[in-house]
Each structure stands twice: as C-alpha cells, then as structure tokens.
Chains A and B, each alone.
Chain A
Amino acid sequence: MGIFSYDFMRNAFIASTFIALTTGVVGVFVSARGMSFLAHTLSEIGFAGAAFGVFLGIPPLDGMLAFTAVSSVAVGRLSARASRREESISAVSSLFIGLGILFLSLSNQSSSYATTILFGSIIGISSQDVVQLIGLAIFVLVTVVIGYRWLAFDSFDSIGAKAQGLNTRLVSVYFLIILAVSVSIGAQIVGSLLVFILLTLPPSVAKYLGRTLPQMMLISVAAALIGVWVGLILGYLTNWPVTFFIATIEFIFYFLALGYHNLHN
C-alpha cells in the first residue's frame, strides 16, 4: 500500500497506535470516575501549554505536559467537592483558553500554527516526536499497571475503597497525573480541542458492551484503534482532516453501543 511509503504516514500510524492504546486504557478510568468534563478541560489547558511552548521556543508537547500536569492537580483539588466541580472546571478552562490565545499572539506565530495545535496534524510528527510519544505512552501504561488495584477499586467503587481503608485522595492525584500525560499524548494527532474524543467515546462504548474491567479496556482500546487507523487512511485518501474522520467513527461507535445497550436492557 502506497500509504506507508511516506515517512510522515508511518510516523502518524505508529504515534496514533500508541495514542489509542493509552487513551483507550486511561479513558475507562476517566469514564468510571465521571471525569469526562475534566478531560475536556485538560485538553484546553493543553492548548495553552502548547502555545506557551511555542512562545518560549520549546517543543509544544513539553509545554503541554508542564501545563496539564500542574493544572490537573490544581483542578482536582478545586473540584474535590462535587457540588462545585463544574463551575470550578469552567473557571479554570476559561482562564487557560485566554492564556493560550495570549501566548500564541505574543509568539507571533501564524494562525495556522494555532490550527495545528487545536485540531491536530499528521504531517508534523517527526521520528523524534514518535520516540518521545512512545516513551510517554509506556510511562502511562506502566503507571496504570503498578497502581491497577487502587485505580480500579477507587474508580469503580470509591465508597467501598474508602471503607477498605484505601487512601482515595492519593489515588486521585495519581490518576490526575496519568490523565494529564494522556491528554498531552493524545493531542498530538487529533489536536488539543478534540483529544477528549479518544478519552471519552471509546470508554463509553466499552461501558455499554463490557462487564469486566479487562473486557472494557480491550473494547475501549479496539474502538480507539479502529478510529485512528481508519481515520488516518481516510484522511490520506480524501485529504480531509483526520480528526473529522476519527470524531465521526467514534461517534458512530458510541451510538451503536448505546443502541445495543438499550435493546438489551
């Protein structure tokens, strides 16, 4: 297939495979913890971080990692009380979008650069980026495996976890850092505006179809993988934005799964 004769397409495929693995696994916990909205906010914070990176002249991914890691813990603490979760997340996200716009404007970059950060780009991924991305993805997956028992218990039954003496606050911070890194990774292909697609839709599909945690993770990763792979191929063939195809595919999966769930319950 001619598609793999281009370096950038090979890079994009490798990168998106690791992105789908990471977001598919982490997303299952995002969905169980009811943190979809927070994932969305972190994407916007990631945009500000990338813009800050551009402004400083460091790689946007590094700027993203710094911003999402620091702010995820801050947002997590601000929104510890469920009653004010939504408003505190909205407040933080407005500030960060504002900052992102400021940094982009200060850095004198053209608006096409903003488009790349917000909506993603498959052409811009170098082999070096791919190596860094794989390293981060492995970091996230290993961290999930190490903390698996606590993450699973606290995410799927926080009251029970607390009753058994688990330090659920600590687990929360642990997870927020995992989430921050996953957002930064995911944004590399689909863009920061839409990275939450990969963190929320495949796990929702898994939630409707799976009944055990391993099943859910497999389904979620599969839905994410099919989305990014087919999205890349269709993007290559049509020259339309890959993000559009990924969003559409995940949307279709979500509604099929929801329909299946409603039929069987």
Chain B
Amino acid sequence: MQTPLLTVDHLNFGFYDRPLYQDLSFELAPGSMTSLIGANGVGKTTLVRLLMKQLKPQTGTITYRQDPAVSIGYVPQFRNLEDEYPLSIRSFVALNHPRHFPWLTASDKQALNRVLDETHLLDRQHQRLGAASGGEKQKAYLAQALLDRPNFLILDESTASLDVNTKIELMDLVKELNQNNGLTVLFVTHDLNLAKQYTDQYLLLTKDGSEMKPVSEMDVTTMPEELQPVVEFQEED
C-alpha cells in the first residue's frame, strides 16, 4: 500500500470546556478526494487549521508524508473583494508568486499561464476580478492556491455561495485536477450531494465522534438533520 499523504492519529483538540474531537484518526491516500462533512460549529475549520499547522494538537499527531514532501494549497472560505477591486484575474493569481516582483520573469509567466490554463481562465485572464462572475472568482482563488504547485489542496466551503451550475463547473474542474495531476483534495462542505458525486470518501464530524467511509456507503437519511438537503438537487444535462 502507498504511504498515506496524511496520517491523523488519536487527535484531541478543543477550546476550554468545549472538546471538539476525541481520538480522531484518519488517513488520506495520495490522489484521493475526500469530503469533510459536519454541521456548523462542529469544528471543520478548526480541523483545517490544525492540518495547516496554524494550531497545535492537544494530544495525538498529524503527520505528513516526507518523501515526496507535501505542500498545501488552501482556498479559504470567505474573500471580501469589492466590485471595484482593480486587479485583473491574472494579476490576482500572480500575487501568490514566491518571487513576485513588480515584473515577472519568463519562467514566472510560464507557471502563471499554466495554472490559468488548468483552471480554464486563460480567456478571461485580463478581466477585472471585481467584475468577474462568482464562478470565475472561485476559479481565480483556486488558481492562486495552485500557483506554487501544491500536491494537497484544501477547499473550505468553496461552493457555498455558488448557484448549482457553477458548483458543478467548479467541482468538475477540481476533479479534473485531481485526475490529471494526482492532486489530493480535501473538500470541506455542507453539501452531501456534491460530496457523493465528486469525492471518493467522506469524513463526517459530529459532536459524538467521527467516521470515515467511502461515499458509496453514505446514507443521507442517517446524517445529522442540519446536513439534510432542503431542496433536492437536480442533475442538469
């Protein structure tokens, strides 16, 4: 069996009198696509912060594969860009260039073109981000996180504010990156339908514990009430 990209072993973490996880253990295989599901306040974002080493586990360990090393790309949940936001999509994505200087070198431009191509933004790269559609904005956020070529991508509720078609378009793109580039994906979401359709397995966090299962074994009816789809999701053709 391949070395797991990420191993979480008996992780315990909580805030003061509110324990969030007790003995949380799971593994992510390289190239896997996993959804992280849970009701509001159950600690999804806290788990992401732990995985990104912004917080330390109280007990237990979080271990990343050493060879090849794991680099994380993270797409945060909220961005506060106003309509008059001036930068073009291309310039916005380039903000994450490790050697970003007022003018980019030829190889910088190459890396930028590649990620814009992969995220299907080449045609729209000179569009102002402030005036771009919701889907284009999400793709730009994704492209920015992918610019330094991480092999592990964490998407934090990236589809939450999008309409159904745009959600599908974005998830198709993520799936494509997962299949073509072997990108390991952790998709934080409320959306059981998207989780079922696009990810291989799910990690369900609840107040009483957690479970990691293949999505084929997901039984929507036994999920916490808050996660039950209010409106049934329609497959578009």
Contacts and interface: CB of A to CB of B under 8 A. Distances in A.
Interface stretch (B70-78, B162-170, B193-201): B70-78
Interface in B182-219: none
Interface string B66-103: 00000000111011110010111011100111111111
B160 to A, nearest CB: 15
B88 A211 contact: yes
B80 A159 contact: yes
Contact of B95 (A145, A156, A208): A156
Contacts, number: 69
B126 A148 contact: no
A148 B75 contact: no
A62 B32 CA distance: 60
B100 A153 contact: yes
B121 interface: no
Interface in B97-111: 97-103
A123 to B, nearest CB: 36
Contacts of A211: 86-88, 91, 126, 128
B152 interface: no
B76 A159 contact: yes
Given A149-B100, A211-B128, A214-B102, A157 B95 contact: yes
* Interface secondary structure of A, over-half rule: helix
Contacts of B87: 156, 211-213
B13 interface: no
A149 B99 contact: yes
B92 A157 contact: yes
B74 A164 contact: yes
A40 interface: no
A163 B74 contact: yes
Contact of B86 (A149, A163, A208): A208
Given A153-B95, A159-B76, A164-B74, A212 B88 contact: yes
A153 B99 CA distance: 12
- What interface size band does chain A fall in? 20 to 34
A165 B49 CA distance: 11
Nearest to B84: A207
Interface in A63-111: none
A212 B127 CA distance: 11
B95 A160 contact: yes
A217 interface: yes
B21 interface: no
Contacts of B103: 214
A163 B91 contact: no
A145 B101 CA distance: 8
Nearest to A214: B102
Contacts of A32: 86
B145 interface: yes
Given A210-B86, A213-B87, A265-B131, A164 B96 contact: yes
Contacts of A208: 84, 86
B214 to A, nearest CB: 29
A169 to B, nearest CB: 14
A157 B94 CA distance: 11
B144 interface: yes
B144 A160 contact: yes
Contacts of B99: 149
A44 to B, nearest CB: 27
A223 interface: no
A172 to B, nearest CB: 16
A152 interface: yes
A148 B101 contact: yes
Contacts of B84: 207-208, 261
Nearest to A161: B95
Nearest to A207: B86
Please provide the 9 A-B residue pairs with the shortest distance between their CB atoms, ordered closest to farther: A211-B88, A149-B100, A212-B91, A207-B86, A163-B76, A163-B74, A153-B95, A214-B102, A159-B76
Interface of B: 52, 74-76, 78-81, 84, 86-88, 90-92, 95-103, 126, 128, 131, 141, 144-145
15 contacts: A32-B86, A148-B102, A149-B101, A152-B100, A153-B95, A159-B76, A160-B144, A164-B145, A207-B86, A210-B86, A211-B86, A211-B91, A213-B87, A213-B102, A214-B103
